[in-house]
Structure 1
Amino acid sequence: MNVYPILRTTFLLCFAAWMWQANAQNLFLTGHIYDTQTRQPLAGATIRNNSGQVVAQSDKDGFFRLSQAQATTAIDVALMGYKTQHITIAAEHRDINIQLETDPVQLDEVRVGLNSRVNRATPGSIALLTADDIQRGSGMSLQSALNTVPGVRMDQSTLSDSRISIRGNGVRSPWGSRAIKVYINDIPVTETDGTTRIEALDVNNIGRVEVIKGPASSIYGAGTAGVINFQLQRAPYGERSLEVSGLTGSYGLNRTATTFRSGGDKVNSYVAYGWQEYNGYRLHSNDMRRFITGNFQFFPNDKQIITVLVSRTTQHSQIPGALTQTQVSENPLQANVTNVDKQAGRYQNWTRVGIGQQYRLSDKLTNSTSLFSYFYDLNHPLAYAYIRNYYQSYGGRTRFTYDPGFNMFTTVFTVGAEFNQGLTKGSQYVNEHGLEGAINANIDNQNTFYSLFYQSETALGPKTLLTLGLGVNSLQYRVRDYLAPGQSGVKRFDPQATPRIALSHTFHEALSLHASVSTGFTPPTGSEIKTVDGSINPLLQAEKAVNYELNAKGGLLRSRLSYDLAIFRMDMSGELIAQAVQQGITIYHNAGKTGHRGAELALSWLAVDEADSRWIQRLRPFAAITYSDFTFIDYKIHDADDRVTDVFDGNRLTGIAPWVINAGIDFNTKMGLYVNCNYLYNDHLPLNDANTVHHPAYHLLNTKIGYARVIRKRFKAEIYGGVDNLLNQRYSSFVALNAVAYGGGQPAFYNPSPDRSGYGGLNVSFLF
């Protein structure tokens, strides 16, 4: 018997087994660490094994590497500003993509901006809101969450009417918001003519909000007020669940929703469907919404991230209209008689589609590009007209980030562009008791916007950062009037440059100082460029602003007390002044100069955290204080013949309260019980440019209590209830500024807000 072949085979098998075992010890587990919401790579995250030993740290690209021997069976990933993530390592894991969720307590440590710097070290006034902040109330509106940001104001009476302003800019908009650029997952919500309506957003799907106050960012194009970046929720890493939720409350409030979440290494999926209805506090204020949202993230390889967004929203809302002071005193529940007779409302369907890609071209060069399309149909009976609009837009946004790796004065460069074109096909009819009458307008508006931007961040020293930015923006309106061809035309705004310079220095974790000078501009919207006869006003120009700001951020008391103090001065010129010529017709002039001087302070104190107590997980008081000294410097009202009729120099800016204080407390226990309380003081504010009529100061107190628990690792349940306006204050959050009375009556300034109201809800999740 020849044993040689047998011995040779045995030797080869043993050698192969030995080599496999040796290689197994040297196999590397690699991965990337990202911010769940922004998809930014997170540098400096520590990875610990089962024994608590640090075995790796992520680099500037969020990349880490460790052997299976180091990793053992599980790892913990930790980074200041984010929740620690515990991950079980499966045998098949070779490359993983870990996504960290923002810690709502340590927001000054969260990475913001293009180059992923911690908020405390980023120049400019940037505020962050998390899903916890949004869900502090009923989750039906963003109003309570946005109003916790100093300098930001969201006015809302019914769910169909809302208006956002930042540092006084945008408050004079008669409907929707202007002067603010709004994005959702890098897709513009702001239409090409500069107007924004956020009703298409399902509040419960928002995972994070980043607010840049003032013209502090040259990379987002035109806008004197600032920028709001919404990020939709993503599935928590490693979770796969199906949630069913229900909410009911005062005045016929009902909502049901179903949400699927799957947070894997290669695909992150978030799909939600929601239905809600609200009969309304006042007559003729019913609001119905249906939402469906799909938010997906794909990791095809270690260099590429692909995101896909698809959303569809249906809104059917009645508009009760503004009331006079006498009507409010008699019965705040009533609706404007004309609005009821004309069946005023907004019936609309929105669709938004976007696809984006982040690609690491090399160790020094990355690119982020998104393509999007946004369209809606609007059926809009008003008190003095019946409007039908069809809107569609498309565009894209791209930016390249380059780090040349300088040995001295390390600099990161960013260049990019944004393009957006929108077409509105609009018809206007006589409103005959809620039905379309004779047509009186048939107009197409094609608006084109583009922006080119540059930004560099240079480290002048280990703790000193110089930021330079420049944006070049252009806008064109093309109007085609089918019934009055002579009023057709083109309005081109000359390209505008918006430079910015900022210098920041970190002295200690207790103090970072930032100083900046920035510029911005806001073109007139499509509804503001018309003259009395409906033709384009060739003389109308953009509003311009120069902003000077000093900002201090830091953490005291072992970083438990976070503060953010901003002192600013913004000079506005060429401000648009509205002149009501007759009912339904308003014209505008560049005749205003205003001075915006103010101070904003945000405080957050982690009084107790989970390491301090056996029972308490978190006890956090917070406060936001805003002081606004906004005045007219050169403000004159013109009539249709351009004659000066009134001079309001020195008056306070209409619609802005000198003092606003928003304070609250979050209390969470380890057993799952939580309590949220929020208090708002809003000072008296002028309702007209003449400052002869004021809305009195008011106080609001809201509270919410709930209990959340995981049951047998398979089910997660939450039950909650709350009361808004606990003090039962009578006030109007959304006011019609400079309302004009026709026929000798009182002006209708007021849209009464709800009195004391309650709600309750239940969420149940099945964990796969």
Structure 2
Amino acid sequence: MRFKLTCIVLLPGLAMAEQTPYEFDELVITGSRYQASGWQLPFSVNRIDAEQATLGKPGVNLSEALGSVPGVVAQNRQNYAQDLQISSRGFGARSAFGIRGIKLLADGVPLSNPDGQGQAATFDLDTLERIEVLRGPFASVYGSNSGGVIQMFSRDGEGAPKVSVDTSQAAYSTSRTRVAAEGGNDKAGFIINRSHFETDGYRDHSGAILDKTFAKLTLYPDDASKLSLSVSELDQNDTQDPQGLTWAQVQNNLRAAAPSALLFNTRKTVDHRQFALNYERSFAAGTWQSTVYSGTRRVIQYQSIGKSFQENNPTQSGGVIDFERRFHGIGNRWIQSFDLGSSLLTITTGLDYDHSRDDRQGYENFVGSTLGVKGDLRRDERNEVTSLSPYVQAAWQLGKLDLQAGLRHNQVEFEVDDRFLSNGDDSGSVTYRELTPTLGASYALSPDLNVYASWGKGVETPTLNELSYSGADNSFGFDLKPATSEQFEVGLKARLGEASSLQLALFQIDTDDELVVESASGGRSRFQNAAQTRRRGVELALESQLSETLRANLAYTQIDAVYSQDFTSNGRLIESGNHLPGIPARTLYGELAWQPLEWFSSSVEGLYRSKLYVEDSNTAKAAPSYALFNWQARFEQKAGALTFNQVLRIDNLLDRQYIGSVIVGDGNGRYYEPGPERAWYVGAGVQYQFD
């Protein structure tokens, strides 16, 4: 591919700030719910600070930040109509759109609906302070549908006020502009961020325009309390959906859209608004934390379901999805520590309540012979999902030994009020209840070596979309059961010399009543509880400050994910031993960052991913393995109150052809979503700080 690099003129000035020293004991709260050293906790949790997550990167997709976390597979579909595809130890791999099976949180507010379906696009990476990623048994302390937890935290405005402007240009007519202001003192802080992103997309019919706004006000009423109020918005209008390709179409043209996508002009519009309030107060006896949130989400999506299929199936709900969601929730917890002389006991008790209500319609995607337009009504219903979950956690520190335990009661209720009765009444309700206990222990064999073990049970309820067509004649599948799992993990955390750290984890996950596709036709998949699965794997993470100017990260995952029981899908026998689709057996990530001068840094990162099976029988063409390399360089100068920065980045440096993600079990065989060729990116920004 031919491309042109824009010259960057470096402005004279002073140096960057001093390098951050290497630290082993990064503080996290995910998993334990109180601030603790990740080194001591008996489970796998990684912290990614803003510099590592965003520096020299476009700042558009969460997948940019998660490569260094073992066990997590974050695939950019190159399709903004369907969001990212993220899985954690295999949880979430079957999601055809959005993110499921993983709990997404931003400043304590769920980005996942109570049914477990979530979207990462609503979070603003520009305001990121850190990301914490939890895998393994203790993810279940965050409720149902939490095979893993990704928790993002925005920074508080602090220091002298400053304003900044950034702009970038990239391949495929991609551009982004950001304007921001922030600042604060010991009484209050603020941050305001507005960004505009647009692209024609690598593939045909994959253009998108995203406008994001985030504002946060932090108040410190006294030395013992903190109050944060935030507002976020996402406007995403007429985002094109190129859909997946068959293997024959991939061989013919990697950049093509599916013919049906062009025929029906498949597209999606999202308008998302959210308000959140976080309050924390310390008392002599403990700490009180409370989170309240509320918002609306409007989605209109045009699909490519065939006209004749809708005309000949009275129970078909049409090819246009139109819903308006209102959601709200509250989370309260009390954290109290007891000094027992030679030990410290910390108890956390809390209650999470989340509710969403969808006013949902379905329409035909044709009028007469005109396709891709809103036609007659085929679905009209109200869907409500409510989750109410009390929990208690305990952490007991006894010298070299650290014990953790938790118990959560998960209750998720679905209620459907069908108001389109000409094709039958799908009204009804179903409630899922499950206790999920967790236990863990870590022991310091030496000041530089901790070993740990943990166990837990988890539950994964069906989502609204999986319930919607899984009953008889595409009715609501009230008979579906939740999938339940039992997880084991053992591992070690070690300091290697003065500037390196190692994390190693071995895990096994056994799941009963796994939700799998029973049949797929006409753009609709029916699900069933038909399988037992087993996932065994190993994760390795290595970080090292090789010298004053050179830093390295390495993450490796190997997982054997198979069905451990025969079942039938789409009329075919799926035998025990078949591999679960969408889960790579091996993933390797490496990064080498070099900063020889205080005003200049550069890094190269590499990613290897083994082949991906695309459906349960493992007979369709697997997406081949691939290896990619990316390179970036960043420059920074200061001139008085002004700070300038410039970035040059090249992705897929060796111009490899590859399948970036797959659509598991697609009924039309359109499993494959190609990734982009070699692509360039240039950006520049300026910041002014007031006295």
Say yes or no: TM over 0.5: yes
Aligned AA for 1:470? L
Aligned to 1:699: 627
Query: Which amino acid counterpart does residue 153 of structure 1 have in structure 2?
Result: V
Asked if the contact 2:274–2:294 (Cα under 8 Å) also holds between the matched residues in 1, the reply is yes
Residue 615 of structure 2 corresponds to residue 675 of structure 1: no
Opposite residue 78 of structure 2, the aligned amino acid is T
User: CA separation in 1, counterparts of 2:518 and 2:161?
Assistant: 56
Residues 314, 350 of structure 1: 8 Å contact kept: yes
Distance 2:140 2:664 in 1: 31
Shift of 1:344: 0.7
TM-superposed CA distance for 1:107, in Å, is 5.5
Q: Which residue of 577, 581, 591 maps to 2:530? A: 591
Residue 429 of structure 2 is aligned to residue 512 of structure 1: no
2:516 partner letter: I
Which amino acid counterpart does residue 26 of structure 2 have in structure 1?
Answer: E
1:159-238 map, 5 Å = 159-160=79-80, 161=82, 162-235=84-157, 237-238=158-159
Cα 1:632/1:219, change in 2 over 3 Å: closer
1:731-755 Cα shifts (integer Å, max 9, x gaps): 12121222334xxxxx222111111
Q: Which has the larger radius of gyration?
A: 1
Please tell me whether the aligned partners of residues 503 and 540 of structure 2 are also in contact (alpha carbons under 8 angstroms). Answer: yes
Aligned-residue offset at 1:296 = 2.1
Where does residue 95 of structure 1 map in the other structure?
Answer: none
Letter in 1 for 2:236: Q
Name the residue aligned to 1:285.
Answer: 206
Contact 1:108 1:562 in 2 (8 A): no
Contact 2:42 2:452 in 1 (8 A): yes
CA contact (8 A) 1:353 1:374 kept: yes
- From 362, 377, 380, the counterpart of 1:428: 362
What is the deviation of 1:184?
A: 0.5
Instruction: For residue 374 of structure 2, give the secondary structure of its aligned residue in structure 1.
Output: strand
Give the distance between the partners of 1:505 and 1:269, measured in 2 at CA: 42
After superposition, residues 75-474 of structure 1 pair within 5 angstroms as 105-106=22-23, 108-112=25-29, 113-135=32-54, 136-160=56-80, 161=82, 162-235=84-157, 237-316=158-237, 317-360=239-282, 362-384=283-305, 385-432=319-366, 433-459=371-397, 461-474=398-411
How far apart, CA to CA, are the structure 2 residues paired with 1:349 and 1:380?
12
Alignment of 1:520-559 (within 5 A): 520-529=458-467, 530-558=470-498
For the residue of structure 1 that corresponds to 2:658, the secondary structure is coil
| Contact 2:521–2:667 under 8 Å retained in 1 | no
Is the Cα–Cα contact under 8 Å of residues 396 and 418 in structure 1 kept in the other structure?
yes
Say yes or no: does 1:731 pair with 2:669: no
Cα distance in 1, alignment partners of residues 122 and 411 from structure 2: 27
Change (3 A) 1:710 1:506: farther
Aligned-partner Cα distance in 2 for 1:602–1:411: 30
Please state whether the residue corresponding to 1:133 is helix, strand or coil: helix
Structure 2 distance, partners of 1:183, 1:104, is 28
Residues 364, 405 of structure 1: 8 Å contact kept: no
- CA apart distance, 1:585: 2.5
Deviation at 1:297, TM superposition (A): 1.4
Deviation per residue, 1:14-37 (Å, 9 max, x gap): xxxxxxxxxxxxxxxxxxxxxxxx
Q: Is the 2:508–2:534 Cα contact (8 Å) retained in structure 1?
A: yes
2:48, 2:130 within 8 Å by CA — same for their partners in 1?
Answer: yes
CA deviation after TM superposition for structure 1 residue 301, in Å: 0.3
CA distance in 2, matches of 1:652, 1:103: 43
User: For 1:290-316, what per-residue CA distance to the aligned partner results, in whole angstroms no more than 9, with x for missing partners?
Assistant: 111012211110111001110111012
Match of 1:35 in 2: none
SS of the residue corresponding to residue 137 of structure 1 reads coil
Q: Deviations over 1:212-267 (max 9, x none)?
A: 113413431113411111112333x4242100100111001111111111031111
TM-fit CA distance, 1:638: 4.5
Aligned-pair CA distance for 1:760? 0.4
Question: Unpaired runs of 5+ in structure 2?
Answer: 1-16, 306-318
Question: Which one-letter code corresponds to 2:680 in the other structure?
Answer: G
CA distance in 2, matches of 1:107, 1:345: 46
Once the 2 structures are TM-superposed, how far is the Cα of residue 177 of structure 1 from its aligned partner? Answer: 1.3
Aligned residue identity for 1:412: T
Structure 1 residues 342 and 215, CA, compared in 2 at 3 Å: closer, same or farther? Answer: farther
CA distance in 2, matches of 1:619, 1:258: 32
User: What is the CA distance between 1:685 and its match in structure 2?
Assistant: 2.2
Distance 1:103-1:471 versus aligned 2 partners, 3 A rule: farther
Q: Distance in 2 between matches of 1:105 and 1:239?
A: 27
Compute the displacement of 1:116 (Å): 1.5
Q: Quote the offset at 1:536 in angstroms.
A: 2.8
Q: Is the 8 A contact 1:214 1:224 kept in 2?
A: no
CA distance in 2, matches of 1:345, 1:233: 34
Aligned residue in 1 for 2:11: none
**Secondary structure at 1:533 match in 2:** helix
- Cα deviation digits, residues 440-497 of structure 1 (max 9, x gap): 11111011111111001112x2121111100001011110111128533333334211
**Structure 1 residues 253 and 105 mapped into 2: Cα distance closer, same or farther (>3 Å)?**
farther
In structure 1, give the amino acid aligned to 2:420. Answer: L
Question: What is the SS of the residue equivalent to 2:159?
Answer: coil
1:405 deviation in Å? Answer: 2.7
Q: 1:562 aligns with which of 492, 501, 507?
A: 501
Bigger RCO (CA 8 Å, 6+ sep)? 2
Q: How far apart are the structure 2 equivalents of 1:581 and 1:142? A: 30
**Structure 1 residue identity aligned to 2:59:** G
Q: Is the 8 A contact 1:218 1:469 kept in 2?
A: no
Rounded to whole Å, the distance in 2 between the matches of 1:294 and 1:511 is 42
Measure, in 2, the Cα distance between the counterparts of 1:319 and 1:727.
Answer: 27
Q: Any idea what SS the aligned residue of 2:466 has?
A: coil
Distance 1:481 1:191, change over 3 A: same
- Give per-residue Cα distances to partners, 1:104-153, cap 9 Å, x unaligned: 84254334342321111112100111212222422222213212211001
- Given the two structures, how large is their TM-score scaled by the length of structure 1? 0.82
Do 2:432 and 2:461's aligned partners in 1 also have CA atoms closer than 8 Å? no
Structure 1 residue 408 displacement after superposition: 4.4
**For residue 98 of structure 1, what is the aligned residue in structure 2?**
none
Deviation at 1:507, TM superposition (A): 2.5
CA distance in 2, matches of 1:491, 1:637: 27
What letter corresponds to residue 244 of structure 1 in structure 2?
Answer: V
Q: What amino acid maps onto 1:251 in structure 2? A: Y
Instruction: Give the letter for the 1:605 counterpart.
Output: S
Matched, 1:721 2:655: no
SS of 1:329 mapped into structure 2: helix
Counterparts in 2 of 1:266 and 1:670: CA distance versus 1, 3 Å: farther
Structure 2 distance, partners of 1:277, 1:580, is: 37
The residue matched to 1:417 in structure 2 has which SS?
strand
CA contact (8 A) 1:453 1:471 kept: yes
Q: Find 1:607's aligned residue among 521, 546, 556.
A: 546
Q: Mean alpha-carbon deviation: is it higher for 243-252 or for 729-738?
A: 729-738
Using the aligned pairs only, state the percent identity.
24
Q: Counterpart of 1:689? A: 616
Q: Which amino acid aligns with 1:246?
A: T
Distance between the aligned counterparts of 2:160 and 2:627, measured in 1?
A: 41
Structure 1 equivalent of residue 434 of structure 2: 496
Deviation at 1:623, TM superposition (A): 0.5
Structure 1 pair 111–142 and aligned structure 2 pair: CA distance change class (3 A): closer
Matched residues in 2 for 1:387 and 1:574: separation?
29
